[in-house]
C-alpha cells in the first residue's frame, strides 16, 4: 500500500494553496490569520467564491456540480483550506443532505434542492438530536403525522447548529409509533424553516458564539413530496448520511494549525527574558503532540490509500474521529497552557491578550464539544470494540 502522494497530487496541492491565498478576500484573510470566528455572512461569502470556482462540493459527482476529484485530492483540498484558516463551510447542505439526495432523492428533489445548495442560495441545518435523544438517537420523539398529502410535525430538536440562518432543515421524525424496534418507523423529511409553526431560538456557547439553537415544531405542515426515500426507512438514510466523507473526519489541518500557533506563542512569550520555547519541558510537550498528530496523519493516509484502491472507509473511520478530536482538544489545551493567565481573558478584552491570540479561549471552549458532536467518542469506542476488535456488543 503506497502512503505517499504522487507528483501530480503534490502539484495539485500547490495549486490549491496558491489559489486560496489569492482568492481569500483581505478582510477574511485578516480574520483567518487570527483564527477568528467568522460570521454567517462571511462563511457564505467564501462559499460563493468557492462555488464560482467550482470547488464548493469537491465530493459531489461531476454531473451534479462536483469536481470529480478522487479521495486523495479531496483530502489535500480540505487540508489546505484548514491550514489557511479560511471560513469552514456549513456541512449540512454540502456534506450531508446534498450527498443524501444524490444517493436517495428523486429527480424532482435533486432538481429543486441541489443547485441552490451548491450555489449557497439556500442554507440548511440538521434536525437530529433532541433533549432526550442524543447518542441514543433512535429514541427521538418528533412526530410526523401522515395526513394523506402532507405530514404534520410536532416536537422539538436541539443542537440545531445555526438554524436561525437556515432556509431548510432535514429532520428525522417518527412516522410509526407502533414499530417493534425504535429504529423502525422513522422517516427522513425536508422542512422549510419559514413554514408556520417552526421556531428556532439560538443560545450562546461558552465560546461566545450563537452556534446552536433549540428548534420547535408546532403543527407544521410539510408536503409529502418532502419525504426522502421510503416512509419509515429514515434510519437507513441517516446511517448513510453519517457515512459520507469519512476520510475527512480527522481534522488534520485544524490540529496542524493549532500546533503552529502553539509554537509561535512559545517562541514569543518571554519568561525571565527567555522564550518559553527554550524550556525543555515545553519543547517535549510540543514534540509529544506533534508525534501524536503525525501518527494520526499516517492513519488517515492509510484510509486514503484504501479509498484509492476502491475500498470504502469502514469502522476504522471511528479511530480517525476519536483520535482526531482528542488531538484537536489537546492542541488547544497546549495553547491555553502556554498563554498562562492571559488565557483566562476573553477575546474582546482590550490590552490583555496579543490580538493574534485573542481567539484561543473561545476556540478552546468550543472544541470541548468536538468529542461529542458527529457521534460521541464513547460511541466511537463501542464501534471500534465491536467492529474492529470483535468484542461482543
Catalytic residues: 245
Q: Integer distance in angstroms from the first to the last C-alpha of the chain?
A: 31
* Upper half-sphere CA count for residue 248 (Cβ side, 13 Å): 21
Contact by Cβ (8 Å): 37, 359: yes
Give the cell for residue 231.
Answer: 416512509
Q: Measured between alpha carbons, how far is 81 from 90 in angstroms, rounded to an integer?
A: 13
Q: What is the DSSP letter of 231?
A: T
- Residue that the C-alpha cell 483581505 belongs to: 26
d(CA 345, CA 4): 43
Q: Which neighbouring-strand residues pair with 126? A: 170
Helix 40-53 to helix 26-33 angle (10° resolution) is: 120
Positions of E strands within the chain:
124-127, 143-146, 150-158, 168-174, 186-192, 198-203, 212-223, 227-228, 270-271, 274-275
**CA atoms in the 13 A half-sphere facing the CB of 254:** 19
Quick one: which of 117, 17, 21, 18 has its CA closest to 64? 117
Nearest Cα residue to 104 out of 245, 241, 229, 188: 229
Contact 123, 165 (CB under 8 A): yes
Q: What is the C-alpha to C-alpha distance for residues 340 and 320, in angstroms, rounded to an integer?
A: 30
- Cβ atoms of residues 150 and 195 within 8 Å: no
Three-point CA angle 320, 71, 81, nearest 5°: 75
Amino acid at each position: 500500500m503506497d502512503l505517499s502522494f504522487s507528483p501530480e497530487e503534490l502539484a495539485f496541492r500547490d495549486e490549491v494553496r496558491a489559489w486560496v491565498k489569492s482568492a481569500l478576500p483581505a478582510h477574511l484573510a485578516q480574520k483567518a490569520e487570527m483564527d477568528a470566528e467568522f460570521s454567517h455572512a462571511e462563511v457564505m461569502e467564501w462559499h460563493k467564491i468557492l462555488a464560482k470556482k467550482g470547488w464548493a462540493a469537491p465530493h459531489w459527482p461531476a454531473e451534479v456540480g462536483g469536481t470529480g476529484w478522487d479521495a486523495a485530492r479531496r483530502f489535500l483540498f480540505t487540508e489546505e483550506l484548514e491550514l489557511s484558516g479560511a471560513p469552514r463551510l456549513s456541512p449540512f447542505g454540502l456534506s450531508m443532505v446534498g450527498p443524501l439526495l444524490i444517493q436517495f432523492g428523486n429527480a424532482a428533489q435533486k432538481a429543486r434542492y441541489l443547485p441552490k445548495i451548491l450555489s449557497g442560495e439556500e442554507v440548511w441545518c440538521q434536525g437530529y438530536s433532541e433533549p432526550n435523544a442524543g447518542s441514543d438517537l433512535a429514541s427521538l420523539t418528533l412526530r410526523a403525522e401522515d395526513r394523506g398529502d402532507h405530514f404534520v410535525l410536532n416536537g422539538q430538536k436541539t443542537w440545531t447548529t445555526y438554524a436561525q440562518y437556515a432556509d431548510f432543515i432535514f429532520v428525522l421524525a417518527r412516522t410509526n409509533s407502533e414499530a417493534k424496534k425504535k429504529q423502525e418507523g422513522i422517516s427522513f423529511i425536508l422542512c422549510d424553516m419559514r413554514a408556520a409553526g417552526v421556531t428556532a431560538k439560538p443560545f450562546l456557547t461558552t465560546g461566545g458564539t450563537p452556534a446552536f439553537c433549540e428548534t420547535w415544531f408546532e403543527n407544521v405542515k410539510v408536503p409529502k413530496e418532502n419525504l426522502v426515500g421510503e416512509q419509515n426507512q429514515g434510519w437507513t438514510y441517516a446511517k448513510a448520511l453519517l457515512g459520507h466523507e469519512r476520510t475527512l473526519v480527522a481534522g488534520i489541518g485544524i490540529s496542524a494549525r493549532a500546533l503552529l500557533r502553539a509554537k509561535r506563542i512559545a517562541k514569543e512569550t518571554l519568561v525571565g527574558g527567555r522564550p518559553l520555547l527554550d524550556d525543555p519541558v515545553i519543547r517535549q510537550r510540543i514534540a509529544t503532540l506533534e508525534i501524536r498528530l503525525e501518527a494520526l496523519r499516517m492513519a488517515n493516509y492509510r484510509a486514503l490509500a484504501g479509498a484509492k484502491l476502491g475500498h470504502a472507509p469502514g469502522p476504522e473511520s471511528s479511530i480517525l474521529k476519536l483520535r482526531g478530536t482528542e488531538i484537536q482538544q489537546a492542541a488547544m489545551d497546549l495553547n491555553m497552557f502556554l498563554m498562562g493567565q492571559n488565557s483566562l481573558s476573553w477575546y474582546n478584552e482590550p490590552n490583555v491578550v496579543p490580538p493574534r491570540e485573542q481567539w484561543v479561549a473561545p476556540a478552546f471552549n468550543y472544541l470541548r464539544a468536538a468529542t461529542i458532536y458527529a457521534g460521541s467518542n464513547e460511541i466511537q469506542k463501542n464501534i471500534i470494540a465491536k467492529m474492529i476488535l470483535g468484542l461482543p456488543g
